[in-house]
Amino acid sequence: MSISEIKDFLVLPVDLPGAKAPHYIYFKKHSGKSSTDGQNNSLFLFNLPINTTTSTIKKYLSSVAIGATLESFAPSLLTNYPEDFWIDLTKLTSDLELSTNLNSNIDQDYNTGNTIGAKLPKHCGILTFIDKSSLQLAFTSLKKLSSNQTSSKWPIDEANFGGSSYFLSKYQGQILDNEWLSGIVSQSLIDFDAAEQKSINDLQQSTELVDEDGFTLVVGSHRKTKASILGKQKLASTVEVERAQKNLKKKEKDDFYRFQLRQRKKDEMNDLLKKFKLDQERVRLMTEKKRFRPY
Amino acid sequence: MAKRQLENGHPVDKRVKKVEFSNIDTFEPEKVSDSVDVSVPSSEESEDEDEESEGEDENPASKKNEVFPHGKPSKKQRKQLSAQEIQVARETAELFKSNIFKLQIDELIKEVKLKESHVAKIEKVLHRLHDLISQVPATNEPLTLEQAESKFASSKKKVAIPWPEPKPTKANYKFAYLPPQDVSLVGSFGLKTGINSNTNNYNMNSIDIALTMPSELFQPKDYLNYRAFYKRSFYLAWLVEHLIPLSKRNHLPVKISYHFLNGDVLCPVLKLESIHTDNEEDLHFHKTKFTINLVVGFPFGIFDAKKVLPDKNCIRIDTTEKGELPATPIYNSSLLSSTSYDYYLKFLYTSKKSAEAFKDACILGRLWLMQRGLSSSFNDGGFGHFEFAILMSALLQGGGVNGNKILLHGFSSYQLFKGTIKYLATQDLNSGYLSFSSLIGESSNSKYSSEGFNTPTIFDKNIKLNVLWKMTPSSYQYLRQKAIETLVLLNDVVKDRFDPILLSKSNINQLKYDLVASLTFPEEIAQSFGAIEKIMFITLERWLRHKIYLILKTGLGDRVHGINIKVEKETTAFGINKRKPSASTNNKFIIGLTLNPEECEKLVTKGPNQTDTEEGSKFRSFWGNRASLRRFKDGTIQHCVVWQQSNKKGEPIVLSIMKYVLDAKLLEGISEHLYSESSLFNGLLPTPLSGGNNGYNLLRNSLDGFSRVLSNLDGVPLQIKSLSPGASPALRYTSLLQPVPFATASPDFWNEIILQFESSTKWPDEINSLEKTKSAMLLKFCELLEDTVYKAFITKDDFIPFNFNVCCLNILTPEGFGFKMRILTERDEILYLRAIENATPNEKAIVQDTYLRFNQKYIGSIKHTRTITSLSHHFHYYSSTVRIFKHWLDSHLLLKHMNDELIELIALKPFVDPAPYSIPHSTETGFLSILNFLSTWNWKEDPVILDLVKSQTTIDELTPEEELKQANKLTDRLTIPAYRIIESNFQKIRKVDPNGIKTQLFIGSKDDPSGILWSNELTLPIASRLTALARLSITLIKQQQQSQSEIDESTISLIFTPALKDYDFTIKVKTNSLTSSSGILPANKFKNLIGTESSFPDDICGSYDLVQEFYKELSKMFGNIIIFSTKKFTGLSSDGASNVIAGLFVPATNTKKKFRVGLGLNVKPIDKEECIINKEAIFNQINLLGGDLVQSIKHRK
């Protein structure tokens, strides 16, 4: 049972408080696309224990790899979420360039300050160190633990996690402070107004554009974003078409010629026949399922 | 990215409600507009339609005015054809009633047809039997009574003569056996209307052979004092004595026993069952499952019909009292019917020949009766297929008030059946009667007369027999009730009702009746069974049934609609060496009551006015010293009886009254033998701490008060349009715990309400900013409410996935209730729908779920609450039924998996669509009906489509105008197009998901045509478990009924005990006691010893149930690999603090996996490639999370 590597990942056994069996964390150096400066100082971890926060990681590193200074820790947002994908409803409902800053959420549990977390699968996380040497230091120490398969202690802040007081604080956390809330609300409404203003300005510009047929976009006074205007136009056009078709139909006489009457009768008969066939089929299916046993 | 297309329109999603309704709208006008001109449909179809419309017309004379004559309609008639009529006809044809119903009938009749091989076998048997009978020797000379008795006593075979009670002591006439003057096959086998049946029910499988005793054996006076019956008993004994050796010799091995035909003790017959032997020459017929009855009859017309009329006395006894002896209708009828076996066969045969479909209609009638537990036997109501066939024959001859024909010879089997059912439903044969003549070839009409005998009557003028002589007013009432219900089903043009009409059995007592009581009567009761009673009722049981019926009818009055009394298990068969069945077996009655929900629980039984002296003295003499005079609010002074709620928890008033009147009027102390489990079921509902039952009203008033204050607030930026109750079971009377002031620990403490403003265009066009704008509104309210008596604070809400900006305003009212207010704007739905449009295929499912969640909370819940509130006013026992059902679900750890709304819809099914049973009028019946429905619902194949309307159409409303209205959408019933749309939604779902992996329960209604709004989040294991548990409970109830044991506390506790062994692991958890803080009165404690809260705690969260948060966290963290279950109501546990969390690993997680980071599982490595779930580590983390709440974790080995 001493497997220290699995599919390029190193296996790190850790002991959680009170555990009889070890927990396994899998890690490797992260090779993300975001390595713009050629340097990538990150570690990718999978299967982190519950309630892993930046302070947990810091504590752990200080016990196994002193000197490895952590810059940031980005856990997967999905870890504590029952869904499999992360959805950004803002993007799906608007094309305003609102900052995708998740920090503005009223529900603070899902604010991470970055967008990486939304893309990571469950129980994963990325550790970013301040420099290459820190990364190297941490990686070597962890690798050593891994290859020896020595369990190290995983620190969980038991005082603030689990049990009745923890759940009580969860309940209490649902109640929001009014002042804090109004701060957040007014800030994001300012942001929204700004984004909307920008969009309107962009739109204003496009009204001045004359397309190849010589038309310009007309902007009404109510809705102010391009998307909503286009949407409305689309809707309006379909409604118009339907109405026009209806009008046309009304004027048509469908019982003027004899062939029309005959055709209708024929259609009706065929229709009924078809239905009869369908009914027969249904009953046949029911018979197959032994539906007709009155016992 | 930049050019993402957005629009305001609705996406084309089948689940989106708006789209559905717009479909309906476009569907209708087209239908009405083109339907004025009628063309004759194709020939094949037109016949069907023709038949259909005729069947619905009661008066055949008006048939010529039908909608679809083949000739040309006159101008006047054409005018009468309104667009609506045509629409009905058309929609009917379009729907199955004519086509599919007919096809189904054909299939059914094919299915129940006797196997030809069986028929051939039986015919062979019958021939051999006929030979045997002709070989039975005659007695050499007539025997005196003593000679006859000694003859059998000395015989080795120990055959006893089945003398009816009283045994003859001296006889101045003689007994003899002469070969029967006629042997013929009678009954349904003779008529070829017999059906194949799997049941072992005796009556279903018997073939009747009538042996007519020769007239030489009788004297004219033999109709008196049992003489004919005594002679027959001897005849039978002689026959059996000789048949035994003859059958052995002639290779027809049979077991012969005596049997009372239809439970009539005056009419013993011989029952022959095949015995299996190894001898190849022997003729066996046990495989046909038939038994043969040798019925001995009297010659036709041997007795003077005038002497044996139902109102004549034929048993002369000595009485000390002077005056005339009472009539002996049962005796007389039994005598007469014994002369007519062969005669009626011929009569029915003529009917069969004259109407082509008669035979099939008989089979339908027979099935219909069988499914409802009705048969010719006394105990089963006295109305079986024989009576049905006679009635149908009579109706072919007339039957109307003027002798007009009810049924026509050319009718189809469906029309004959429906016509007969309609007759049963609409004509009262108890207060009036139907007379007919069975004389073949006579042209006289049958006629209905409204002046009757107050006993169910169909009178045969020719032989002076009341064909319904075995019926009682109570069994007639039951028959009629069933006919009415069936007629409503037959008239239903929207749904296919074939199943409840003919296929499903309704034989569970607890579902058939609202209150079931069993009464074991002690032997001493026989002392009051005097000679007069004996000649009138013949048996003790029949007299008791009659007497109890009268007592209960008077005592319960308006409180009941029907009283049914049956012997629980009647023994009618007995060995040939016995004179009669052993006595002690028939001493237990089952009393089934159909309650009147308006009246049954009233505390006062009102009698006549004080001024009405005659009625008043009657009332007083019945009630004795319980009767008193009372002045009522309107000034009237009335005799009345006042009842108290019984000390026994949950005992219905009706049961208390029953106990009292049976004690007072039948036998002192007999109530000790009366048992009913209904109190046990009622007692399952938790008692509220505040006492009384008005918690719901207090809550409603509190909401009204708040609503007024809210609308009067100054400074709200937008005008308030409405404030509606949303997701709040307590506001619609369905919360398991009654609302109790300041009971903050109750899971239903917070009642959601939805606030809507007047429309505005200023709402931001982006979801998070929109939610934040709403939050700003809530903040404003919070500020404005500061100066009022209301306390308010804002909480975040995570009900809608991925919308992290939803806030609610929580309001605590001075009355002690809590409301949670959300804001709905007209922009919300648009944005969610837009999100669905813009989602990538991967995201789509999740975004749709998000939309459904939103729809549930903000739109669906308002409609749902509105509907349920009004329905729970209409169905008196709906509220308590739902509550007990929720209790059951919670006991089985299922409640947390289901929306309250889903549960309420499931519970509504037996109320709005109870067929083949009736609407339940008690908590017990309602609850068991739900379980029964769940146990039979095959949700993989069948959707449930509920018509959420108040009253089932009753018989009075079934006028054609009413039907037209229905079709014309003037009522709020479901229309055919709406029904079709819901049905097609189901088919669409099943097309992509035939095995119900994603969607299980589909419950559509006009509130939710999508059918999955409330059941979307259910999972397959939970849905299957729900069905399995319901099945187990119903099986248990059925077993109890079959083994004739009562449903007692242990049965009920079995029904409510969870099977924790089925889970992979269980975690025992314990928190603070929540009983009284949830508003529940703890068991065995008195109200005054528990302090009721009168204010809110400083930290409202302090009283919340921490187990629920634990459960929530667990589901968040491990929900992808473990299905957790727990009880929602920790406060209902015995100590109010314990609960259990059970876990089931998703099966797919248990196998080895290739390692990858997207597994989402806690794994340990096995080798370089693969890994497996690390359960120890998971349990450890669960333990860490639970902390001090966890008491123990148990794993399944």
- How far apart CA B542 and CA B317 sit, in angstroms, is 20
For residue range B818-852, list pLDDT tens digits in order.
Answer: 999 999 998 888 888 888 888 888 888 888 889 99
Q: Please report residues of A whose CB lies closer than 8 A to that of B1159.
A: 121
Q: What is the 3-state secondary structure (H, E, C) of B198-249?
A: CCCCHHHHEEEEEEECCHHHCCHHHHCCCHHHHHHHHHHHHHHHHHHHHHHH
Chain A and chain B share a number of CB contacts under 8 A equal to 321
CA B1169, CA A38: separation in Å to the nearest integer? 31
**CB of A113 within 8 Å of any CB in chain B?**
no
Question: How near does any CA of chain B get to the CA of A69, in Å?
Answer: 25
Identity of the amino acid at A47:
N
Q: Which of B583, B603, B623 is the last residue of a domain?
A: B603
Q: Furthest-apart CA pair in chain B: how many Å?
A: 116
pLDDT over threshold 50, residue B1004: yes
> Above 0.90 for ipTM, yes or no?
no
Altogether, the residues listed in chain A come to a count of 295
Residue B507: closest C-alpha in chain A = A295
Burial class (CB in 10 A: 0-12, 13-18, 19+), B1096: middle
Ranges of beta strands (E only) in B841-985 are 944-945
- Nearest-CA neighbor of B734 among B611, B610, B903, B575? B903
| pLDDT at residue A225, rounded to an integer | 53
User: What would the pLDDT profile of B1028-1043 be if each residue is shown by its tens digit?
Assistant: 999 999 999 888 888 8
**Chain A closest-CA separation from residue B250 CA (Å):** 36
Domain endpoint, select from B487, B503, B519: B503
Q: Please give the residue of chain A at the shortest CA–CA distance from B810.
A: A175
Whether the Cβ atoms of residue B1111 and residue B1134 lie closer than 8 Å to each other: no
Q: What is the DSSP string of A197-234?
A: HHHHHHHHHHHH---TTS------SS--SHHHHHHHHH
Q: In this complex, which of A87, A225, A227 lies closest to B846 when CB atoms are compared?
A: A87
Q: What percent of chain B has pLDDT over 90?
A: 17
| B763, B1097 contact by CB (below 8 A) | no
Backbone φ and ψ of B907, nearest 5°: -70, -20
With a cut of 80, say whether residue B1181 has pLDDT above it.
Answer: yes
Give the SS3 label for residue B544.
Answer: helix
Lowest mean pLDDT among A247-261, B670-684, B687-701: A247-261
Contact between B1187 and A163 using a beta-carbon 8 Å cutoff: yes
Contacts for B1051 with CB less than 8 Å, ≥ 6 apart:
B677, B1036, B1037, B1040
Q: Which residues of B touch A182 (CB under 8 A)?
A: 776, 779
Q: Is B320 in the same domain as B402?
A: yes
* Same structural domain, B782 and B880: no
Q: Residue B1104: which domain range?
A: 1059-1195
> Nearest residue of B to residue A51 by CA position?
B1185
Q: What integer pLDDT is reported at residue B170 of this predicted model? A: 78
Question: Is pLDDT of B154 > 50?
Answer: yes
Least confident of B19-23, B397-401, B472-476, B1140-1144: B19-23
Residues 263-292 of A with CB under 8 A from B: 264-265, 268-269, 272-273, 275-276, 279-280, 282-283, 286-287, 291-292
Do residues B149 and B263 both lie within one domain?
yes
In degrees rounded to 5, what are phi and psi of residue A74?
A: -115, 100
Residue B702 — pLDDT band, cuts 50, 70, 90?
Answer: very high
| Domain stop point among B76, B91, B109 | B109
Q: Closest Cα of chain A to B1011: distance in Å?
A: 22
Tell me, yes or no, whether B125 and B104 share the same domain: no
In a domain, B654, yes or no: no
Does the structure show a pLDDT above 90 at B918?
A: no
Confidence of residue B36 (pLDDT cuts 50, 70, 90): very low
Phi-psi region of B1073 (alpha: psi -120 to 50; beta: other; left: phi over 0): beta
Distance CA B1153, CA B1173 (A): 8
> Quick one: B498 and B523 in the same domain?
no
d(CA B325, CA B722): 75
Chain A residues touching residue B835 (CB < 8 angstroms): 89, 92-93
Determine if the peptide bond prior to B166 is cis (ω within 30°).
yes
| Same domain membership, residue B1017 and residue B1111 | no
Which comes out higher in pLDDT, residue B536 or B70?
A: B536
Contact B57, B89 (CB under 8 A): no
Q: What interhelical angle do B900-912 and B923-936 show, nearest 10? A: 100
pLDDT (tens digit per residue) in B79-104: 444 444 444 444 445 443 456 777 78
Write b or e for each residue in B588-597: b if 16 or more Cβ atoms lie within 10 A of its Cβ, otherwise e: bbbbbbbbbb
**Angle CA B805–B807–B813, to nearest 5:** 175
- Residue B481 and residue B469: Cα distance in Å, rounded? 19
Residue B862 has pLDDT above 80, yes or no: yes
Q: What is the mean pLDDT of residues B1058-1082?
A: 87
Q: Do B1169 and A82 touch (CB under 8 A)?
A: no
Instruction: Specify whether B762 is located in the same domain as B897.
Output: no
**What pLDDT, in 10s, does the model give residues B488-500?**
888 877 787 888 8
Count of C-beta atoms within a 10 Å radius of residue B938:
9
- Show pLDDT as tens, one digit a residue, over chain A (295 residues): 467 788 788 888 888 888 788 888 888 887 765 544 455 788 888 888 888 888 888 888 888 888 888 888 888 888 877 777 778 777 777 777 665 555 577 777 766 555 677 778 888 888 888 888 888 888 888 888 888 888 888 888 777 788 888 888 888 888 888 888 888 888 888 888 888 888 778 777 777 777 777 777 666 555 555 555 555 555 555 556 667 777 776 777 777 788 888 888 888 877 777 777 777 777 777 777 766 666 6
Q: Residue B128's Cα: distance from chain center in Å?
A: 46
Structure tokens at B425: 């439903």
What mean pLDDT do residues B946-952 have?
A: 74
One DSSP character per residue, A106-173 reads: SSGGG--SSSHHHHSPTTEEEEEESSHHHHHHHHHHHHHHHHHT--EEPP--GGGSSHHHHHHHHHHH
Integer Cα distance of B445 and B398 in angstroms: 5
Same domain, B402 and B273: yes
Reading the block at residue B730, the tokens are 């307590």
Distances (CA, A) of B286 to B193, B272, B575: 20, 10, 19
Q: What total number of domains does chain B contain?
A: 6
Q: Does residue B852 lie within any of the structural domains?
A: no
Q: Is residue B10 part of a domain?
A: no
In whole angstroms, how large is the CA radius of gyration of chain A? Answer: 32
How confident is the prediction for chain B on average, in pLDDT? 81
Q: CATH number of the domain that B387 lies in?
A: 1.10.1410.10
CA of B769, closest CA in chain A: separation in Å?
6
Strand A70-75, strand B182-186: pairing: unpaired
What gap in Å lies between CA B168 and CA A208, rounded to an integer? 119
Q: Residue B6 pLDDT > 80, yes or no?
A: no
Q: Would you say residue B18 has pLDDT above 60?
A: no
* B888 shares a domain with B815: no
pLDDT score for B2? 38
Q: Do residues B591 and B548 touch, judged by C-beta distance below 8 A?
A: yes
CA–CA gap between residue B846 and residue A87 (Å, rounded): 8
Q: Give yes or no: residues B1035 and B1073 share one domain.
A: no
**Structural domain includes residue B157:** yes
B1117 contacts on A by Cβ (under 8 Å): 50, 79-80
Q: Which phi and psi angles does B440 have, rounded to 5°? A: -70, 135
Contact criterion met (CB below 8 Å) for A134 and A69: yes
Query: Within 13 Å of residue B417, how many CA atoms lie on the same side as its CB?
Result: 27
Q: Are B334 and B466 in contact (CB under 8 A)?
A: no
Within 13 Å, how many C-alpha atoms sit on residue B569's CB side? Answer: 10
Q: How many helices (H) and strands (E) would you count in chain A?
A: 8, 7
Q: How far, in Å, are A15, B911, B1170 from residue A3 at the CA level?
A: 16, 62, 11
Transcribe B900-920 into DSSP letters: HHHHHHHHHHHHH--TTS---
Residues B772 and B883 in one domain: no
Would residue B55 count as lying in a domain? Answer: yes
From B503, B1156, B1184, residue closest to A17, measured CB to CB? B1184
Q: Are B251 and B282 in contact (CB under 8 A)?
A: yes
Contacts of A256 (CB under 8 A, 6+ apart): none
Contacts 24+ apart (CB under 8 A), B960-969: B960/B56, B963/B88, B963/B491, B963/B493, B964/B82, B964/B84, B964/B85, B964/B88, B966/B493, B967/B84, B967/B87, B967/B88, B967/B91, B967/B493, B968/B84, B968/B87, B969/B28
Same-domain check for residues B418 and B499? yes
CA nearest B748: which of B464, B477, B1080, B413? Answer: B1080
Higher pLDDT: A114 or B1162? It is B1162
